[in-house]
Structures are given as C-alpha cells and as structure tokens.
Amino acid sequence: MLKKNKFPILEFDTDRNAVIAPAMLRPGKGRFPTHGVLCYQGDTMRRLKRAGKIKEIYRLTNICTEYPVYEAAFKGRKVLVVNPYVSATMSVAMIEELAVAGCVNWISCGSAGVLSPELSVGHLIVPKSAVRDEGTSYHYLRPSREVAASPRAVKAIKATLDKHGVPYLLSKTWTTDAFYRETPDKVALRRKEGCAAVDMEAAGVFAVAKFRGYQAGTILYGADDVSGKDWDPRREHDRGYIHERIFWLAVEACLAI
C-alpha cells in the first residue's frame, strides 16, 4: 500500500496500472508513424502548414482546445509532428496518447533560456539530462535530482548535427514549471550543477520515455539570457531562420533513432 509522505509530490507509486490509461482514450496501435517530433515553435508550424510541408491527419482534444496532429515526409519516410504548446504536462500527455497509436520515438525541439551570456542566440544545446524542477516527472519515476535523455536519442542527435557541421553544446538542462520563479540564486545553483539552459518540458519527456520504454531526446537553441540579475530577452535577434532549421534537424535525428 502506498504510504503517505510529508510532501505529496514524493509519493511515487510503482503500480503501472492507472485508473485512466491512454489506451482508453486513443485505442488502436499502428495507425501513426513510429517517430514523432514535438515542435514548440508556433511560427514554424504555421510556415510549414502554409508551404504544404505538413498535413493534418488527426486531432487530440481536451476540455480546453484541440491539438492538430500533423505528418511530414523526409527522404521518403513519415514522421508525426505536433505542437504541445508549453509545459511538460501536455507534452507527456501527447506522448502517452500518440504512443498508443504507434509513435514511440520522440525528439522535441524549441528555445531555452541560457544560464551563461557566452551562449549566443541560436547556439544549439543537446541535453544529456534534465534537472527535475517540475512536477510531471515525479509521477513516472522515483524522486531523483535528474533524469537522463534516452542514450539512443542523444546519439542520433549528435550524429545528425555532426553530419551537418552544426556546433552544439552537450550539457544539462533545468526543467521548471514556473518561469516567473527563476530567481538569481536558483540560476546560480543550476549553473553550478552543470546546467546550460532552462526549459519547461525536457524532464517530463525524458521521464515518460524511460517509464514506458520509449526513446526521447531534445534539441534546444539558446534564446533569452537569464544568467544575470536583469533579464535579457535578446529580441533584437531574428530567430525565424533558426526555427525551421532546428525542426528539420530534429526530424532527421528522430528518424535516425
């Protein structure tokens, strides 16, 4: 029997059976491609849709809204594409539901705050692990400080970036639910433990993949700078050219898993 803990978030239940299972909502295996990309860039999704490079094949629905699920083609192969918006919670829910229909290999891509001003806008960061400063991952794995990305996914990302001569930093990321609570002391602490960036999804994505036996990794690019006492949004830089580039790198890496 599950024992009560002083802090509910630490009450990890090893029972793999839940009252609501993804298969109850999205029955049927093998309907979707086995590889998928979580793209956190709305402008990229709109551009790809206008250009006819992605086509809608399904819709995930909840009480708030609908999430279009797209399919893209790359060198004769198909990959699922979806924008979960922001948060580990929705990213994990989408992986859970779409995996029931066959999509079990995932690469996510998007921006991240950098914890060092030396990381320029657009510099790629490949997290080998994520500090678990969010809530979703604690429902999938026992409490721990970090959760690792899938080694196969990291290997595929590195091979893809190396192939194209794209520089990147292999590091840790800090996943948090609350970007309005990234205090200077927390930034300093995370930097000290080896985090190069801060994001909102990686720990949850890595955790659900580990729990379910899927593959998952992420490609981040440096955006705003939260390393100092004053936030630097660095909006003077045009990031449009980065967004679609990182998307196709994520697609290629995902298909290489």
Residues 6+ apart with CB under 8 A from 61: 67
Domains of the chain listed by start with CATH number: 30-255 (3.40.50.1580)
The string of pLDDT tens digits covering residues 134-168 is 999 999 999 999 999 999 999 999 999 999 999 99
pLDDT in single tens digits along all 257 residues of the chain: 788 999 999 999 999 999 999 988 876 656 899 999 999 999 999 999 999 999 999 998 888 889 999 999 999 999 999 999 889 999 999 999 999 999 999 999 999 999 999 998 889 999 999 999 999 999 999 999 999 999 999 999 999 999 999 999 999 999 999 999 999 999 999 999 999 999 999 999 999 999 999 999 999 999 999 998 889 888 766 666 788 899 999 999 999 99
In degrees and rounded to multiples of 5, residue 255 shows phi and psi of -70, -15
Instruction: Looking at 73-150, list the stretches that DSSP marks H as alpha helix, in order from N- to C-terminal side.
Output: 88-100
In this structure, the chain runs to a length of 257
| Beta carbons within 8 Å of 37's beta carbon, 6+ residues apart | 72, 79, 80, 81, 82, 106, 107, 108, 109, 247, 250, 251, 254
Q: What is the pTM of this model?
A: 0.96
DSSP code at position 235: T
Q: What is the DSSP string of 128-157?
A: EEEEEESSGGGGTS---SEEEPPHHHHHHH
Which helix (H) or strand (E) element contains residue 215? strand 215-225
What's CA 230's distance to the chain center, in Å? 27
Rounded to whole angstroms, the Cα distance separating 145 from 54 reads 37
pLDDT at position 241 is 73
Give the pLDDT of residue 162: 98
The alpha-carbon radius of gyration of the chain (Å, integer) is 18
